[in-house]
C-alpha cells in the first residue's frame, strides 16, 4: 500500500521536471533527500496520519489471506460449520473497512502532495525568473533533456530494503542507460519538430518542408533503433526479475508441500502463506521496476535545488525610487564582454563613454556588430559591465530599484513582440489602468492611430499570434505606442523604425522630437537618415566610440560618419538610378 502511494508522487513532481536537464544522477542522493524532507516537514502531521491509515488498512488487507487459509482448512475438514461463515463475515468486514480507510488515506495523501507540488513549483519558477539574463542565454540550449519523466517514489529509498539496492543494480543497469538514451533521442526529435513549427514561415519560404521532414525522420529512426535495444534490455531485466520470483515461489511451494505432508503445518496455513508471499513479491517487483526512475529523479531534483540555491550573478538592485528623474545617463569607460572574460578579442565594448542628456535626442550609429544594442542591454541591467560604470542622474544604475528602472526606461527593439490579443490590450500591456485618451495620445505620437482606426475592429482588432495579423511596420508603431503610454523618462528605439517606410519613420521621429513630456530619447540605428536629426550622435566602431557631435559637425569632420553618409547616399542614388532605368 505504501509503495503504491509513493508511486503516485511522480504524478505531482513530473511537471516540475519537464524542463530540468536529464543529468547523470548525482551521487549525493542523501543531501537531495534531506532537502526534499525539508519541503515536506510542514506537512509532517498529515504524513503521519497517512502512514497510520496505511498501516491500519494494510492490516485489513493482510487479514484476507489469513481468512482464505481458514476457508481452505474448512474445505479440507468440514468439521466446524461455523468457521466458514465466521471467516467469510470477518473477511467482508475487513475488506470494507480497509477499502474505506484506503480511500481516506489516498485522498489525504493526494491533496497533501498536490499542495507541496504547487508550492515547490511556484518557488522553482520564481527562483529561475530571478536569474540574470546570461543564465538564460546559457540554459536555453539545454532543452534536449526536457524529457525527464517521473520522479517516482523518491522517499522509497529511505525504506532501505537491501533488495531494492542490489537487484536493480544487477539487472536494470543496462536498461537504465538505454532508457536515458531513448529519452534524450526523443527530446532531440521533439526539438527538431519545435524548431520547424516555430520557424514555419522560413521553412515555407525556402520550400524546405521535405528537408525538415527528412531531418525529423532521421532523428526518429535513431530513436527507433535505441527503442528496440531498450525493449530488449527491458525484457531481459523483467525476465530476470520474474525468474527470480518464480524460483522463490517454486521453492516455497515445494518446501510448504513437504511440511503439509509431514503434518508440520495445515494446508490452510500454506494457502495463507502463498498468498502473503504473492503480495510481497508483487510489492518487491514494483519497487525494482521503479527504482531506476527513483535514482534518476533524485539526480534531477539536485538540479531543482541548484536553481533554488543559485544566486543571480548580477548584483542585487538597490532601493532608489526618486520621484523626479531627469533621465541623464552617462557611460563612463565601460568595458564589457558577454563571456565575462576581459581579453581583447572577446570585448564587445571597450572603454565606452557616452552622455545621454535629459530631454534630448541622442543617437548611436555604427555598422553591424559594433556594440550598439549591447549598450541598451547594459542600460536595462541585463548584464553587468566588467569595468567602468553607468550612471543615471549621477547615481550608479544598480542603486535603483529594478521595477522602477524598467518603468522609467522603455525599450522598443527591432524584433518587438506583440501578443495574440487586441491592439488595445497590446498598447496598454503592463499599464492596464491607462485611459483610452492616454492610449490614443500614445498611438498618435507613434503615428499608429490612423492605421489602427482603419483596421476592421479598430483598437479591438486582434493583433494575432506574435503580431502576425499586422504588417512589420504597423507592429513597430504599436510597440512604440506601448512604450510611450508608460510615460517613460528614457525612451530607447533600437532599430525600432527599421520596418517603416521613410515617410512613416520621418513622422515617428518628428513626433518624438516634438514630444512634450521631456523624455530622453536614445536612437540606435545603422541608418544615417534615422539619426541625423538627433542633438548628439555617437559613432561606434568595433566596440569603441570613434566620433561624437551633431550631424553637421560630424559631416564637416569628414571622418567615419561622413564616410557612412557618403556610402549610404551612394546606395540611395544607385537605387534611384536602377528605379529610373526600369521605368
Ligand atoms: N547574448 C549574446 N551573447 C554573446 N555575444 C553576443 C550576444 N549578443 C550580442 N553578442 C555579440 O556582441 C557583438 C555586438 O553585438 P550588438 O548586438 O551589440 O551589435 P549592434 O551594433 O547592435 O549590431 P546590429 O546593428 O547588427 O544590431 C556582436 O559580435 C554579437 O555577436
Ligand 1 geometric centre to CA of 131 (Å): 21
Confidence category of residue 330, pLDDT binned at 50, 70, 90: very high
Ligand 1 geometric centre to CA of 134 (Å): 13
Ligand 1 geometric centre to CA of 371 (Å): 6
Nearest to 511 by CA among 433, 450, 456, 425: 450
Three-state secondary structure of 234-293: HHHHHHHHHHHHHHHHHHHHHHHHHHHHCCCCCHHHHHHHHHHHHHHHHHHHHHHHHHHH
How does DSSP assign 287-341, residue by residue? HHHHHHHHHHHHHHHHHHHHHHHPPPSSPPP--B--S-----EEEEEEEE-TTS-
Together in a domain, 369 and 250? no
SS3 347: coil
Ligand 1 geometric centre to CA of 165 (Å): 51
Paired residues of 391 in beta bridges: 330, 396
Question: How far is the C-alpha of 192 from the C-alpha of 568, rounded, in Å?
Answer: 40
Three-state secondary structure of 146-208: CCCCCCCCHHHHHHCCHHHHHHHHHHHHHHHHHHHHHHHHHHHHHHHHHHHHHCHHHHHHCCC
Answer whether residue 378 is part of any domain: yes
| Cα distance from N-terminal residue to C-terminal residue, the chain | 85
Report the range of poorest mean pLDDT among 106-115, 130-139, 406-415, 471-480.
Answer: 130-139
Q: What is the DSSP letter of 465?
A: G
For residue 525, give the ligand 1 atom closest to its CA: 25
Residue 544 has a pLDDT of: 93
Nearest to 521 by CA among 362, 377, 374: 362
Continuous segment of H or E residues that includes residue 356:
strand 349-356
Ligand 1 geometric centre to CA of 368 (Å): 8
Ramachandran class of 401: left when φ > 0, alpha when ψ lies in -120 to 50, beta otherwise: beta
Percentage of residues of the chain with pLDDT beyond 70: 69
Q: Is ligand 1 within 6 A of the CB of residue 154?
A: no
Structural domain count of the chain:
2
Together in a domain, 200 and 333? no
Together in a domain, 274 and 394? no
Together in a domain, 304 and 378? no
Together in a domain, 383 and 492? yes
pLDDT, mean of residues 512-530: 77
**Host domain of residue 458:** 329-552
> Can you give the CATH number for the domain in which 369 is found?
3.40.50.300
Residue 325 has pLDDT above 70, yes or no: yes
pLDDT, mean of residues 503-531: 76
Answer whether residue 112 is part of any domain: yes
Answer whether residue 128 is part of any domain: yes
Q: What's the whole-model pTM score?
A: 0.63
Ligand 1 geometric centre to CA of 370 (Å): 7
pLDDT (tens digit per residue) in 436-454: 999 999 898 888 899 899 9
Q: Is ligand 1 within 6 A of the CB of residue 369?
A: yes
Together in a domain, 498 and 402? yes
Residue 11 has pLDDT above 60, yes or no: no
Residue 516 has a pLDDT of: 54
Q: Is ligand 1 within 6 A of the CB of residue 366?
A: yes
Report the range of poorest mean pLDDT among 339-343, 471-475, 501-505, 558-562.
Answer: 501-505
Together in a domain, 44 and 129? yes
- CA-nearest residue for atom 28, ligand 1, is 369
Question: Roughly what angle, to the nearest 10 degrees, separates helices 9-17 and 267-309?
Answer: 30
pLDDT (tens digit per residue) in 107-164: 787 677 767 766 676 676 667 667 777 766 655 433 233 222 224 223 333 333 344 3
Residue 553 has a pLDDT of: 92
405 CA to centre of own chain: 25
Question: How far is the C-alpha of 444 from the C-alpha of 516, rounded, in Å?
Answer: 13
Q: Is ligand 1 within 6 A of the CB of residue 146?
A: no
Together in a domain, 163 and 304? yes
For residue 137, give the ligand 1 atom closest to its CA: 1
Q: Is ligand 1 within 6 A of the CB of residue 241?
A: no
Ligand 1 geometric centre to CA of 369 (Å): 5
Paired residues of 501 in beta bridges: none
Continuous segment of H or E residues that includes residue 90:
helix 81-129
Residue 165 has a pLDDT of: 44
Together in a domain, 339 and 276? no
Mutation test residue for ligand 1: of 372, 413, 531, the one with most atoms within 8 Å of CB: 372
Nearest to 38 by CA among 120, 125, 152: 120
Vertex 424, ends 421 and 430: CA angle to 5°? 80
Residue 502 has a pLDDT of: 72
Q: Is ligand 1 within 6 A of the CB of residue 140?
A: no
Together in a domain, 302 and 336? no
Ligand 1 geometric centre to CA of 442 (Å): 30
Answer whether residue 542 is part of any domain: yes
Answer whether residue 69 is part of any domain: yes
Question: Roughly what angle, to the nearest 10 degrees, separates helices 9-17 and 81-129?
Answer: 20
Q: Is ligand 1 within 6 A of the CB of residue 373?
A: yes
The last residue of a domain, from among 276, 309, 342: 309
- CA-nearest residue for atom 18, ligand 1, is 371
The interface pTM score, or ipTM, of the predicted complex is 0.96
The last residue of a domain, from among 258, 274, 309: 309
Q: Cβ(362)–Cβ(521) under 8 Å?
A: yes
SS3 456: coil
Give φ, ψ of 413 to 5 degrees.
Answer: -110, 170
Percentage of residues of the chain with pLDDT beyond 90: 14
Together in a domain, 411 and 269? no
Question: How far is the C-alpha of 583 from the C-alpha of 580, rounded, in Å?
Answer: 5
The last residue of a domain, from among 246, 279, 309: 309
Confidence category of residue 293, pLDDT binned at 50, 70, 90: low
Give φ, ψ of 488 to 5 degrees.
Answer: -70, 155
Question: How far is the C-alpha of 253 from the C-alpha of 273, rounded, in Å?
Answer: 10
Q: Is ligand 1 within 6 A of the CB of residue 341?
A: no
Together in a domain, 262 and 301? yes
pLDDT (tens digit per residue) in 359-402: 888 999 988 889 999 999 999 888 889 999 999 999 999 899 88
- CA-nearest residue for atom 9, ligand 1, is 374
> Can you give the CATH number for the domain in which 291 is found?
1.20.1560.10
Answer whether residue 573 is part of any domain: no
Confidence category of residue 181, pLDDT binned at 50, 70, 90: confident
Answer whether residue 571 is part of any domain: no
Answer whether residue 32 is part of any domain: yes
Amino acid at each position: 500500500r505504501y509503495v503504491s502511494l509513493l508511486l503516485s508522487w511522480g504524478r505531482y513532481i513530473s511537471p516540475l521536471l519537464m524542463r530540468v536537464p536529464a543529468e547523470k544522477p548525482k551521487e549525493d542522493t542523501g543531501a537531495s533527500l534531506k532537502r526534499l524532507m525539508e519541503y515536506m516537514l510542514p506537512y509532517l502531521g498529515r504524513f503521519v496520519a497517512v502512514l497510520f491509515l496505511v498501516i491500519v488498512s494494510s492490516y485489513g488487507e493482510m487479514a484476507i489471506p489469513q481468512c482464505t487459509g481458514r476457508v481452505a482448512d474448512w474445505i479440507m475438514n468440514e468439521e466446524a460449520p461455523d468457521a466458514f461463515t465466521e471467516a467469510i463475515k470477518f473477511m467482508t468486514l475487513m475488506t470494507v473497512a480497509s477499502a474505506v480507510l484506503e480511500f481516506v488515506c489516498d485522498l489525504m495523501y493526494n491533496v497533501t502532495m498536490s499542495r507541496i507540488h504547487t508550492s515547490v513549483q511556484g518557488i522553482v519558477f520564481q527562483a529561475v525568473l530571478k536569474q540574470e539574463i546570461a543564465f538564460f542565454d546559457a540554459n536555453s540550449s539545454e532543452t534536449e533533456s526536457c524529457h525527464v519523466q517521473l520522479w517516482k517514489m523518491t522517499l522509497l529509498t529511505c525504506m532501505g530494503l537491501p533488495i531494492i539496492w542490489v537487484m536493480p543494480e544487477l539487472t536494470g543497469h543496462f536498461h537504465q542507460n538505454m532508457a536515458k538514451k531513448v529519452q534524450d533521442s526523443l527530446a532531440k526529435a521533439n526539438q527538431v519538430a519545435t524548431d520547424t513549427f516555430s520557424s514555419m514561415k522560413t521553412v515555407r519560404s525556402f520550400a524546405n518542408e521535405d528537408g525538415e521532414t527528412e531531418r525529423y525522420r532521421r532523428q526518429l529512426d535513431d530513436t527507433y533503433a535505441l527503442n528496440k535495444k531498450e525493449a530488449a534490455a527491458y525484457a531481459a531485466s523483467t525476465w530476470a526479475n520474474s525468474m527470480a520470483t518464480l524460483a522463490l515461489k517454486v521453492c516455497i511451494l515445494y518446501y510448504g508441500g513437504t511440511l503439509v505432508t509431514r503434518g508440520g503445518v495445515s494446508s490452510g496455513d500454506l494457502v495463507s502463506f502463498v498468498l502473503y508471499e504473492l503480495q510481497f513479491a508483487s510489492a518487491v517487483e514494483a519497487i525494482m521496476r521503479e527504482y531506476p526512475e527513483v535514482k534518476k529523479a533524485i539526480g534531477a531534483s539536485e538540479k531543482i535545488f541548484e536553481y533554488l540555491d543559485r544566486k543571480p550573478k548580477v548584483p542585487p538592485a538597490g532601493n532608489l525610487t526618486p520621484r523626479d528623474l531627469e533621465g541623464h545617463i552617462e557611460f563612463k569607460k565601460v568595458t564589457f564582454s558577454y563571456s565575462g572574460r576581459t581579453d581583447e578579442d572577446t570585448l564587445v565594448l571597450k572603454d565606452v563613454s557616452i552622455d545621454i542628456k535629459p530631454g534630448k535626442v541622442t543617437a548611436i550609429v555604427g555598422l553591424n556588430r559594433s556594440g550598439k544594442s549591447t549598450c541598451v542591454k547594459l542600460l536595462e541591467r541585463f548584464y553587468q559591465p566588467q569595468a567602468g560604470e553607468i550612471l543615471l542622474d549621477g547615481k550608479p544604475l544598480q542603486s535603483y530599484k529594478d521595477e522602477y528602472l524598467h518603468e522609467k526606461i522603455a525599450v522598443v527593439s527591432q524584433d518587438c513582440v506583440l501578443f495574440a490579443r487586441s491592439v488595445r490590450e497590446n498598447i496598454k500591456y503592463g499599464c492596464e489602468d491607462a485611459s483610452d485618451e492616454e492610449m490614443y495620445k500614445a498611438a498618435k505620437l507613434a503615428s499608429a492611430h490612423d492605421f489602427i482606426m482603419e483596421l476592421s475592429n479598430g483598437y479591438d482588432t486582434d493583433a494575432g499570434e506574435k503580431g502576425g495579423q499586422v504588417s512589420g511596420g504597423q507592429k513597430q508603431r504599436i510597440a512604440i505606442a506601448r512604450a510611450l503610454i508608460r510615460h517613460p523618462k528614457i525612451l530607447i528605439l533600437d532599430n525600432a523604425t527599421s520596418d517603416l517606410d521613410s515617410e512613416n519613420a520621418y513622422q515617428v521621429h518628428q513626433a518624438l522630437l516634438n514630444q512634450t513630456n521631456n523624455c530622453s530619447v536614445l536612437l540606435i540605428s545603422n541608418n544615417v537618415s534615422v539619426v541625423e536629426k538627433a542633438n548628439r550622435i555617437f559613432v561606434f566602431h568595433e566596440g569603441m566610440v570613434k566620433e561624437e557631435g551633431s550631424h553637421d559637425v560630424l559631416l564637416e569632420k569628414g571622418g567615419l560618419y561622413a564616410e557612412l553618409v557618403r556610402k549610404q547616399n551612394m546606395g540611395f542614388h544607385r537605387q534611384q538610378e536602377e528605379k529610373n532605368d526600369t521605368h
